[in-house]
Amino acid sequence: MGGNTNILYDLVLRERDRWVLWLPVGMGAGICLYFQLPEEPAIWAGLLVIISGITAGWTIRTVARPVSHVLMVFAIAVTTIGLGMTAAKLRTLNVETIVLQKSIGPTNVSGRIERIETFPAGVRVVLVTPRISGLQPYRTPDRLTLRMRGMQSEYWPGDWIKVRAKLSPPSPPATPGGFDFQRQAFFRGIGAVGFAFGRATVIASANDTNGEGGAYIIARLRHHLTGLITTALPGPQGGLAAALMTGEKRAVDEKTVQNLRDSGLAHLLSISGLHVGLVAGFVFAALRFILALLPFVGLRYPIKKWAALAAILGAFCYALIAGATLPTQRAFLMLSIALIAVVLDRRGISMRSLAWAAIVVLLIQPESLLGPSFQMSFAAVMALIAVYEWVSSRSQARNYALGHERSGLPVWARTAGFYIAGVALTTLVAGLATTPFSAFHFNRFADYSLAANLIAVPITALWVMPWAVIAFIMMTFGLEAYALQAMSWGLDLVMAVAETVSGWPGSVTLIPAMSDWGLIAISLGMIWLCLWQRHWRFWGVVPVAIGMSSVLFIDTPDLLVDGKGQVIALRSESGDLRFSSLVQSTHTRKTWLRRAGQKDMLGFNPRRGNTIQNLDCDQSGCLYRTRYHTLAIAHTPAALIEDCWTADVVISLSPVRRYCPADIVIDRFDLWRNGTHALWVTDNEIRVSTVNSERGDRPWVLRPGVLKPGISKAIALNTSASTRQAGPAP
């Protein structure tokens, strides 16, 4: 026992300076625990965990070594887990909003435009303090989104508009365990989504209201800049330029987006470390070069530090204009730490700066931990820093051993070689680090991403982004068209690379949906590999391998029924999903297809025949027979008379209003209440999972017929229109 304790003590003490790197990991564990709970915990639950950890740590201080150091690590871990739980709970309480309970409209909707998102065809507006005809104030969401189509009046963020629209609640996941748009909308404060009919009317401009506020000024500036870009560069180039300069990813047409995804260049659309770093680097280098040309300034003042401060300011302005998304926030935080280190003559880029950036993001937006943006962004940077630390240490040792021996190649050749090698290594490392998360969230892997990035990233870094910065500067003089035109030449090359690589045979590998435990194991293994520096870091290979093996145990449902009863999917004898309709519920069908790792949309007609063995259909429904079970899909109430007595499972697309002796009965009300149903059929049992049963009873889970806490609170307080922010009358 003593020997094992001494070994553990030795492991812990040797890398004591790396302990701090595990603080965001503990917070992340607490956040995951909070979101996995079936019911909403009390606020004191997380605080109790924090107090327990602090108390344990205080007590452990009196314990003799070496046990005290090992136990102290566990006490710190408990404290950070409680901190993560508390941060997530406080965030939920802070953003709790009213959610529309059912679809309404067409009806009159008015509200103030908070943000305008540009699409290739039309725009989408975010309205705050809306008024909805026929809906009581205490049931009206605080914020909603509307998709505007066709010719529209000119309106800007801060303006009040009125329009006819159809509204609905944010949609639940399309399948159990799928992407939860309701949760995302909840934490964004969105209580309804919809689309407008006809042209919106501006009933009050921003200048007529009580001030615009900083957020509206930035939103108007962003919308104005997007308009300048798309006007100067109409077509795909303009949309891609807007995505890179103002963060308007939705302005890019679908074909270009698909090509970028299939070629492994989709990360160029998300403004993150690459873009923020390039902007800051260009500002830093340009200002330092200009100041160096002035001998009086360059020889007497710290122009390097001045350039670093200017780069921070430039990156901050760029982050605001780009929408300050999660990757942008992370990139700006890390970049600021690095540039401040330049000012203080310290080392800037380190694993510690990444850890502090993660802590800040998790404290402000704990829910971001569950999204692909946070996971892929931090995984890529963590892996790159770990590899950089390893390569740097090996290079120093090699240079010392060789006596700083230099190659006989010219300087330009060595520089070009190092750059190409750096891009290749960066792409390879970042690609490997983000592959598990890409497979989990998007069920796809771009096989030729290395080749595409070797060409597209240098073009973006050396041509596109410098001209983007120049275009921002020239906009103040109305001369942005010249810079944008030069920028478009590089964009054409990037799009050509994406189209060429995506067209290669086998450019994309489709992967069925991974299990949660597989992703967790891979994540913990990667973190262990990257955060430690000594030989025990390679223990992380074990959980990574275990997590990767989860793809061998993927259990795709044998039958899926969507929550509206509009589409059914059955697994054929060949393993493919076949759909009852190739027209209705497009989003649901695409989600099922993607999570099945399937490319082609195949169908069967439940009323005119089928293409699945052991499936018999007629006008009233279908019977699906396995070796031990019979599943009935009843389209009409008349079919229930026979199906209820002959089938083990009855799925009725109409309400079941009479006794049905089948073992499992799923009717229209069950679909309405619990959302999409997934069934797994084996020889021994039939397992059923639903969307709402997977999510539990949480504030963001909309259950038909049940008032959510935000509405109940509003009713109890007798909320009236006078308590809401006043705006122009509709």
Percent of the chain with pLDDT over 90: 34
| pLDDT above 80 for 726 | no
pLDDT in tens, 571-595: 888 888 889 888 888 899 999 999 9
- Residue 677, pLDDT above cutoff 90: yes
Q: pLDDT exceeding 70 applies to what percent of the chain?
A: 88
CATH 2.60.120 is held by the domain 104-232: no
pLDDT reading at 200 higher than 70 = yes
pLDDT value for 719 = 37
Confidence class for position 92, pLDDT limits 50, 70, 90: very high
- Summarised one tens digit per residue, pLDDT across range 396-415 is 555 544 444 555 567 666 66
Whether 5 has a pLDDT exceeding 70, the answer reads: no
Question: Residue 717's pLDDT is what?
Answer: 37
Q: What is the DSSP string of 141-178?
A: -SEEEEEE-SS-----TT-EEEEEEEEEPPP--SSTTS
pLDDT for residue 175 is more than 80: yes
C-alpha neighbours within 13 Å on the C-beta side of residue 237: 19
Contacting residues for 152 by C-beta, under 8 A, at least 6 apart:
122, 123, 199, 200
Q: How far is CA 653 from CA 251, 470, 605, 621, in A?
A: 39, 59, 16, 10
Quickly state the pLDDT bin for 725 (edges 50, 70, 90): very low
- Whether pLDDT at 711 is above 50: no
Which of these, 351, 325, 328, 327, lies nearest to 338 by C-alpha position?
A: 351
Question: pLDDT-based confidence at 319, cuts 50/70/90?
Answer: confident
**Rounded distance, CA 418 to CA 354, Å?**
25
Q: Using one digit for the tens of pLDDT, what is the confidence trace for 378-398?
A: 898 899 899 988 887 766 555
Q: Is the pLDDT of residue 486 over 60?
A: yes
Domain boundaries, the chain: 2-95, 104-232, 238-310+350-510, 516-553, 559-695
3 state DSSP class of 211: coil
Mean pLDDT of 51-72: 75
pLDDT digits (tens, 9 = 90+) for 29-47: 999 999 999 999 998 999 9
CA separation, residue 62 to residues 50, 57, 71, 296, 569 (Å):
20, 9, 11, 61, 62
Residue 676 has a pLDDT of: 93
Rounded average pLDDT over 149-171:
89
Is it the case that residue 4 has pLDDT exceeding 80? no
pTM for this entry: 0.86
Contact 92, 142 (CB under 8 A): no
Q: Please report the pLDDT score of residue 220 as a whole number.
A: 87
Rounded Cα distance between 238 and 227, Å, is 9
Q: What is the mean pLDDT of the chain?
A: 84
- Check: CB of residue 39 under 8 Å from CB of residue 696: yes
AA identity, residue 458: P
**Amino acid at the residue 680:** W
Mean pLDDT of 668-693: 90
Query: Region 432-454: what's the mean pLDDT?
Result: 88
Structure tokens at 662: 């089948």
Longest dimension (CA), the chain: 96
pLDDT at residue 208 in the model: 57
Mean per-residue pLDDT, 630-658 = 87
Average pLDDT over residues 208-213: 56
Q: What CA–CA distance (Å, rounded) separates 330 from 140?
A: 34
Spell out a b/e string for 353-381, using b for 16 or more CB atoms within 10 Å of the CB, else e: bbbbbbbebbbebbbbbbbebbbbbbbbb
Phi, psi (deg, nearest 5) at residue 619: -65, -25
Cβ atoms of residues 165 and 110 within 8 Å: no
Cβ atoms of 561 and 651 within 8 Å: the answer is yes
| pLDDT at position 672 over 60 | yes
* Cα 503 → chain centroid: 26
pLDDT for 65: 58
Q: Is the peptide bond preceding residue 66 cis, with omega within 30 degrees of 0?
A: yes
**Number of Cα atoms under 13 Å in the Cβ half of residue 202:** 15
Amino acid at 444: R
pLDDT of amino acid 259: 92
Count of helix runs (H) and strand runs (E) in the chain: 25, 18
How remote is the C-alpha of 691 from its chain's centroid?
20
Specify which residues 651 forms β-bridges with. Answer: 633, 666
Q: Could you give the CA distance from residue 331 to residue 346 in angstroms, rounded to a whole number?
A: 19
User: What is the pLDDT at residue 398?
Assistant: 55
Q: Is the pLDDT of residue 322 over 60?
A: yes
Whether 303 shows a pLDDT value over 80: the answer reads yes
Report the pLDDT value the prediction gives residue 707, as an integer from 0 to 100: 52
Which of the four pLDDT bands, split at 50, 70 and 90, describes residue 420?
A: confident
Do 50 and 79 contact (CB within 8 A), yes or no? Answer: yes
The DSSP code sequence of 55-121 is: HHHHHHTTSPTTHHHHHHHHHHHHHHHHHHHHHHHHHHHHH------S-EEEEEEEEEEEEEEE-SS
Cis, peptide link before residue 106, omega less than 30° from 0: yes
pLDDT at 489: 95
Lowest mean per-residue pLDDT among 298-312, 323-337, 495-509: 323-337
Instruction: Identify the weakest region by mean pLDDT among 81-95, 205-219, 569-583.
Output: 205-219
- SS3 (DSSP) at 621: strand
Strand 630-634: give its sheet, edge to edge.
Answer: 615-617, 621-625, 630-634, 649-652, 664-666
Average pLDDT over residues 220-249: 90
Rounded CA gap, 468 and 446, in Å?
27
